Amino acid sequence: MSPPPPPRVAAVYTSTPDDIEIIKTWPGGNGITSDKVPTEIAYDSPPDPPSGAEPTTKWGFQFRPDESRLRCIKLFLDRSQKLPFYVSPLDTAAQLKRFNKNVVDAVSDYLTQIYKHTMDTLTRRYGESFMASTKVEFVLTCPAVWSDAAKNTTLLAAERAGMGSRSEIQMISEPEAAAVYTLKAIQPNHLNIGDNFIVCDAGGGTVDEEASLIAYKIMSLKPLRVEESALGTGGLCGSAFLNYRFEEHVKNRLGVGKFDEMKTKKGKTWQMGLKYFEEFVKRNFNEDEYQEINVPFPGLADDEEAGLDSGFLLMTAEQVKDIFAPVVKEVCDLVRGQVEGLRAKGGIVSGIVLVGGFGQSDYLYRQLKAHFTSAAPPPYSERPTHASASATQEMGSIEVMQPVYAWTAVVRGAVLRGLEGNMVISRKSRMHYGTSYATVYDEEKHSVSERYWSPLWERWMVSDRMQWHIAKPRSLCTTEAPGGGKWLDIVGKAN
């Protein structure tokens, strides 16, 4: 499962819809800009607090490296989510119990800090009088794999944080938000009705373990409307696996003892090397340009055998490729599975769009391009047609695209969702939905051991029968209901 990436915040004024502002300054950031903020929060009691006083709160960038804090607290909203290795459920429970908090309280407190900082940033941008007279609407994003219960609890926490009532707050999955932005950003002459585009979000943080893919079919151009054309897929090949492989590489080079000593006694040294790998190597590595890379590990003694010199670990292009290769291959295999599934149904796959931090990777882009854009282009035509696209499909070529703002595509898409409403007119159900019921016992259908006597109906009954209403992966379309609510209608229900 893929833990949610660190939060990002984008804002836009409806009168200037093209001016999307990404919040990049945060409390504790020491003036350094970042388009994301860590999902970390901690509580502390002030000295001699009055009875009933709330504990003080630290969050985001306000921690020293050695300070205790609650990490990835949002993951605890969905019990099915896998926790990163450095998050202890027991430690988390102990910290919450100490301050008489539960998980929803902590998530709400964290979102409260996000809300306050966002409103403060917007007030600085637009002025107090403007903000006092302007309604602010919130659109939250969530991982595609989250359960309905986790989504509902997230809305509850956001409501308690002051973002509005649950009926007012909109929610959109991260892959869908990325798709909304990227498909809008693609030049109109690249889109044709009937085309399918695969959006690949390979994550971007140190905890993004799963790559998520989702395919959309263009249904209309003005306005742009799409439908999910294949059930979203995912695999354990996200950005975090590159970090795991990098860690194993460094451990093998230094030796287990020396590596463990660095992590425990020189934590900042390890964090600096990991950050360099995360922010430079992942995004920029290109085997044609970089024959070797020097990763900073300040404070480590020179070791010729390990390749350590003057606080730098020398890595050859082949060593970096060994780290990337299995992860990138898995991403390529996932994309190929989506492509083959769509083509088997007669669909035209026109593009693969890379989003997320790892979506900016030059190496990933080149490998996908080599796999899917290997065929020669069709003959030049001043008036390209859908038929020429079909011919290209038959030759196996699919265009691979990297949006300019791949890293922040999710929050930009969430903003567009708030501005323009729902661009996705139909989705694939990711679960089976049904209701349980009790019915009259029938000896030809039911086991005797399952029956019970009902004093109310005065007859033998059986319980826990299921009536299924929606089967995975049935197409569902979202329509407006009276009063602004939402109804989910089953596409082709009459059939």
Predicted pLDDT at 137: 92
Written as one string, the DSSP assignment of 128-191 is HHHHHTS----EEEE-TT--HHHHHHHHHHHHHTTS--TTT-EEEEHHHHHHHHHHHHS-GGG-
Mean pLDDT computed over 409-418 = 87
- Bridge partners, residue 349, by sequence: 196
Q: Where are the domains of the chain?
A: 10-174, 187-378+385-402, 427-490
Predicted pLDDT at 1: 36
Predicted pLDDT at 5: 59
Mean pLDDT computed over 292-309 = 92
pLDDT digits (tens, 9 = 90+) for 207-222: 455 667 889 999 998 8
pLDDT digits (tens, 9 = 90+) for 433-469: 899 999 999 999 999 999 999 999 999 999 999 999 9
Pairing status of strand 399-401 against strand 348-355: parallel
Which residues lie below 8 Å from residue 143, measured CB to CB, with a gap of 6+? Answer: 1, 2, 3, 4, 173, 174, 212
Burial class (CB in 10 A: 0-12, 13-18, 19+), 233: middle
Residue 176's pLDDT band (cuts 50, 70, 90): confident
The C-alpha atoms of residue 121 and residue 11 are separated, in whole angstroms, by: 10
- 207-216, 231-240, 397-406 — which one is most confidently predicted on average? 397-406
Residue with tokens 């950005």: 239
Residue 383's pLDDT band (cuts 50, 70, 90): very low
Asked if omega into 50 is within 30° of 0 (cis), the reply is: no
Mean pLDDT computed over 272-291 = 86
* Residues 187-378+385-402, CATH architecture: 2-Layer Sandwich (3.30)
pLDDT digits (tens, 9 = 90+) for 318-341: 999 999 998 899 889 989 999 999
Residue 173's pLDDT band (cuts 50, 70, 90): confident
Residue 310's pLDDT band (cuts 50, 70, 90): very high
Predicted pLDDT at 278: 85
Mean pLDDT computed over 413-429 = 86
Nearest to 238 by CA among 354, 350, 404, 372: 354
| Residues 403, 446 contacting (CB under 8 angstroms) | no
- 34-38, 54-58, 426-430 — which one is most confidently predicted on average? 54-58
- The beta-strand segments (E) located in 375-454 are 399-401, 424-428, 433-440, 452-454
- The structure tokens listed for 96 are 């919450």
- The structure tokens listed for 326 are 């299995």
The C-alpha atoms of residue 329 and residue 379 are separated, in whole angstroms, by: 31
Predicted pLDDT at 79: 81
The C-alpha atoms of residue 147 and residue 136 are separated, in whole angstroms, by: 27
The residue count of the chain comes to 495
Q: What is the CA radius of gyration of the chain?
A: 26
What's the mean pLDDT when you consider all of the chain? 83
pLDDT digits (tens, 9 = 90+) for 105-150: 999 999 999 999 999 999 999 999 999 999 999 999 887 777 888 8
The C-alpha atoms of residue 282 and residue 58 are separated, in whole angstroms, by: 30
- 140-144, 239-243, 386-390, 442-446 — which one is most confidently predicted on average? 442-446
Predicted pLDDT at 396: 62
The C-alpha atoms of residue 469 and residue 172 are separated, in whole angstroms, by: 23
The C-alpha atoms of residue 459 and residue 443 are separated, in whole angstroms, by: 13
Phi, psi (rounded to 5 degrees) for 313: -100, 120
Alpha-carbon distance values, 436 to 17, 433, 452, 466, 468 (Å):
46, 10, 16, 4, 9
Given a cut of 60, is residue 486 above it in pLDDT? no
CB atoms within 10 A of CB 183: 23
b/e for 122-156, b at 16 or more Cβ within 10 A? beeeeeeeeeeeeeeebbbbbbbbbeeebbebbbb
The helix or strand, by DSSP H or E, that contains position 328, with its residue range, turns out to be helix 317-344
The HSE-up count of residue 145 (CA atoms within 13 Å, CB side) is 20
Residue 54's pLDDT band (cuts 50, 70, 90): confident
| Residues 112, 143 contacting (CB under 8 angstroms) | no
Please give the residue that has the higher pLDDT: either 291 or 206: 291
The helix or strand, by DSSP H or E, that contains position 213, with its residue range, turns out to be strand 211-221
Q: Residue 58's Cα: distance from chain center in Å?
A: 25
Nearest to 109 by CA among 34, 47, 55: 55
The helix or strand, by DSSP H or E, that contains position 412, with its residue range, turns out to be helix 409-420
- The structure tokens listed for 231 are 């059930």
Predicted pLDDT at 442: 94
* pTM for the predicted model, two decimal places: 0.76
pLDDT digits (tens, 9 = 90+) for 357-377: 788 888 999 999 999 986 444
Mean pLDDT computed over 283-298 = 87
Mean pLDDT computed over 83-93 = 82
**Which SS3 state, helix, strand or coil, does residue 455 take?**
coil
The C-alpha atoms of residue 91 and residue 481 are separated, in whole angstroms, by: 45
